[in-house]
Amino acid sequence: MPEERETGIPRQGHHGSLGAGAAPPSVPGAATVQDLPMALPPRWRDVVAHLYPVFQPIVQMRTARVHGHEALLRGVEAAGFPSLAALFEAAVADGALPGLEAHIQGAAVAAFLAAGGTADVRLFLNVHPLAQGQVPPPLQGEQLHLVYETSGEAPLATRAGRDGGDRRGRVDIAFDRFGVGVADFQRLLSNPPSYVKIDRAFVAGVDGDQAKRALLGQLVGSAHALGLATIAVGVETSREFYVCRDLGCDHVQGFLLGRPGTGLLAEVSEIAESLARSDRRRPAPARQRLFELIERIAPLPLEAPKAKLLEYFGNLAAPPVVPVVDRAGVPRGLIRERHLKPFVYSRYGTELLRNRSFGNTLKDFIIPCPVCDIGTPLERVIELFAEAADSDGVIIVEGGEYVGFLSSQSLVRLLHEHRLATAVDQNPLTRLPGNNAITNQVETLVADIERDHVLVYLDFDNFKPFNDYFGFRQGDRAILMFSEQLKVQAAALGGFVGHIGGDDFFLSCSGLAADRVRERLVAFLTRFRSDAESLYDVETRERGWFEAKDREGRMRRYPLLRVSAVMVPLVAGSARPGLETLVELIAVHKTAAKAAPDNLFLVAG
């Protein structure tokens, strides 16, 4: 097994995990490594006597079911090695690596079965890079659904992967530490796995790091576009859990959900269930629309004979595509009816499909299809469909298992409805979301008590006199200049921006400290104030003011354009004001913001 730091798990004896020198677990029927058939030198027989497996759960994010367990190694220091790396380096030097790997995997399978593991729950086994392709699956593994974690640098001695796995047992592949290697995407295309385990480097602190959030979202989207399931590794806080779930991660692993241990294996994660119950955010109306348009097309099993396709598409009411799933209900892609036409219309085509000697599995006809969890935001589903060239639609899963299919026609309809709803609420000048979208955003953030949020109201100072004196065209230029710069600022903060109307704007961002947002906003307001001077003639710029009539018709001097802001922080875990209270807070402090030296007022928590 590779060193545990690869999955965000500490080395032996740290952070309350089982100590490396502790005795192997006494689970009834469990096997330690030395109980298994050995093909090792005498020295290594003594070594493996001290080694034993522990298990860490991998949890489905939306259902809270335990999807699988990763087997991790303990007892390394008791065996006389300072670390896992030293253990495997010595095994390589002695030529004992394949035998060591075989013993470790066999012990993991035996212990998994003894702890109540079944074929309904995956057992994830690490494979040392130098042992890939040299160690066959353990004999008892035929009773289980195995997932080999690999770097993808060498083939494994099994027909594992997206063609459905080994004929007798279920075997899949997971790419470990996805995102940290320069050839990760090349590996996905050349030898696609069933899972990608996204490295903790992209998960740790993602709730407060917009760059990580953007990268994690891209990694998840790329995997789903290829029909692969994702596992976020190293999740240690509820905030990280929620962000990973919102970005579409399918499964999660980390100390928050459970530390490596022994004993009977749980079927459901109580922690994940509690997190789901405590999430007060309301489901978006768009999600209900997604439910309405899902087609419940009955899938074909991967092991079905090719002749089954003739029967399926021979039905005139059959859709033009059919999803294909493996024995665990996991989608493997689509089969298009049009790809059968060369066989149907050729002289001996149908006979070839029925002839078992030419291969009798569906995998030759399967094409990749984007996959989305049923809880994925509608915008992300549409985006994924748009990114996938020549796609027939999107397969919808729940808990990694097939639920239904969104056809291209349904997705085009969703896209049209989405654009129409956006256009109705959009400001005609700036094309920014309007009041309905702003209200929904505020209500969503108020309900999300797990993360820090900052709401910002922005308002031009003395815009009416400027618009009256210089004309509405110049006023529109000022509004457009500000809105474009605000969009850039919102993107940098990973936030939302809207146009309330006239010269009033709204900005929100999540997962960032109020002080950091304030610092960015002060710099932004100062920069816009300088840029806005380009809207005046040279004389007015040098003078620093212009004369115009006030609301009573009297002439008075007005300073050059600037924008003031009221910031309202929403602190995680604290009581949240309602929408009406927030509006009152902003109205009360607008005057203070205009009078502040930096044109910004921070409402105290």
**CATH number of the domain bearing residue 364:** 3.10.580.10
- Whether 401 and 435 map to the same domain: the answer is no
Taking a C-beta distance cutoff of 8 angstroms, is the pair 448, 280 a contact? yes
Single out the residue of 423, 589, 429 nearest to residue 503, CA to CA. Answer: 429
18 pLDDT higher than 60: no
CATH code of the domain in which 24 resides: 3.20.20.450
- Whether 150 and 229 map to the same domain: the answer is yes
> 234, 253, 281 — which closes off a domain?
281
The answer to whether residue 424 sits within a structural domain is no
Could you report the per-residue pLDDT of 305-355, keeping only the tens digit for each? 888 888 888 788 889 999 999 887 889 899 998 888 777 666 666 676 666
Query: What integer pLDDT is reported at residue 280 of this predicted model?
Result: 60
Query: Across the chain, what does the average pLDDT equal?
Result: 83
Percent of the chain at pLDDT > 70 equals 85
- Whether 318 and 253 map to the same domain: the answer is no
- 220: Cα separation from own chain's centroid: 5
567 pLDDT higher than 90: yes
Q: Give residue 215's pLDDT band: very low, low, confident or very high (50, 70, 90).
A: confident
Q: Give residue 155's pLDDT band: very low, low, confident or very high (50, 70, 90).
A: low
Torsion over CA: 61, 491, 524, 443 (sign): negative
Could you report the per-residue pLDDT of 166-204, keeping only the tens digit for each? 433 478 889 888 877 655 567 777 778 889 999 999 999
Could you report the per-residue pLDDT of 426-437, keeping only the tens digit for each? 899 999 999 999
| Segment holding 518, helix H or strand E | helix 514-531
Higher pLDDT, 368 or 321: 321
Q: Give residue 604's pLDDT band: very low, low, confident or very high (50, 70, 90).
A: confident
Query: What integer pLDDT is reported at residue 282 of this predicted model?
Result: 57
- Whether 24 and 122 map to the same domain: the answer is yes
Torsion over CA: 525, 423, 284, 299 (sign): negative
- Whether 84 and 31 map to the same domain: the answer is yes
CA distances from 54 to 176, 459, 591 (A): 18, 58, 62
Q: Give residue 268's pLDDT band: very low, low, confident or very high (50, 70, 90).
A: very high
- Whether 375 and 441 map to the same domain: the answer is no
CA triple 333-243-454, angle to 5 deg = 140
The answer to whether residue 376 sits within a structural domain is yes
CA distances from 601 to 80, 99, 158, 438, 512 (A): 62, 67, 64, 21, 17
The answer to whether residue 325 sits within a structural domain is yes
Higher pLDDT, 34 or 323: 323
Query: What integer pLDDT is reported at residue 2 of this predicted model?
Result: 39
- Whether 117 and 252 map to the same domain: the answer is yes
Please state the φ and ψ torsions of residue 555, each to the nearest 5 degrees. Answer: -75, 135
The answer to whether residue 238 sits within a structural domain is yes
- Whether 233 and 321 map to the same domain: the answer is no
pTM of the model: 0.69
Percent of the chain at pLDDT > 90 equals 44
Taking a C-beta distance cutoff of 8 angstroms, is the pair 106, 98 a contact? no
Higher pLDDT, 102 or 163: 102
Query: What integer pLDDT is reported at residue 9 of this predicted model?
Result: 32
Q: Give residue 235's pLDDT band: very low, low, confident or very high (50, 70, 90).
A: very high
60 by Cβ neighbours in 10 Å (0-12 / 13-18 / 19+) ranks as buried
Average pLDDT rounded to a whole number, residues 420-429: 84
Single out the residue of 52, 67, 55, 50 nearest to residue 7, CA to CA. Answer: 55
The answer to whether residue 138 sits within a structural domain is yes
Higher pLDDT, 51 or 422: 51
Could you report the per-residue pLDDT of 269-286, keeping only the tens digit for each? 999 999 888 776 555 565
The answer to whether residue 423 sits within a structural domain is no
H and E: helices and strands count for the chain:
19, 21
- Whether 159 and 40 map to the same domain: the answer is yes
Taking a C-beta distance cutoff of 8 angstroms, is the pair 469, 546 a contact? yes
- 397: Cα separation from own chain's centroid: 14
- Whether 298 and 176 map to the same domain: the answer is no
The C-alpha atoms of residue 368 and residue 332 are separated, in whole angstroms, by 7
> 232, 263, 281 — which closes off a domain?
281
Tokens representing residue 443 in the block = 């209500």
378 pLDDT higher than 80: no
The C-alpha atoms of residue 218 and residue 524 are separated, in whole angstroms, by 28
3-class secondary-structure state, position 505: strand
The answer to whether residue 422 sits within a structural domain is no
Query: What integer pLDDT is reported at residue 605 of this predicted model?
Result: 62
Query: What integer pLDDT is reported at residue 550 of this predicted model?
Result: 83
> 281, 296, 311 — which closes off a domain?
281
- Whether 71 and 190 map to the same domain: the answer is yes
Query: What integer pLDDT is reported at residue 200 of this predicted model?
Result: 92
3-class secondary-structure state, position 294: coil
Average pLDDT rounded to a whole number, residues 469-486: 94
The C-alpha atoms of residue 108 and residue 97 are separated, in whole angstroms, by 16
158 pLDDT higher than 50: no
- Number of separate domains in the chain: 3
- Whether 365 and 459 map to the same domain: the answer is no
Higher pLDDT, 253 or 154: 253
Could you report the per-residue pLDDT of 65-79, keeping only the tens digit for each? 999 999 999 999 999
Range of the domain at 350: 287-417
State the SS3 of 522-583.
HHHHHHHHHHHHHHCCHHHHHHCEEEEECCCCCEEEEECCEEEEEEEEECCCCCCCCHHHHH
Could you report the per-residue pLDDT of 542-561, keeping only the tens digit for each? 999 999 988 888 899 999 99
Higher pLDDT, 36 or 359: 359
163 pLDDT higher than 70: no
Average pLDDT rounded to a whole number, residues 499-508: 95
31 pLDDT higher than 70: no
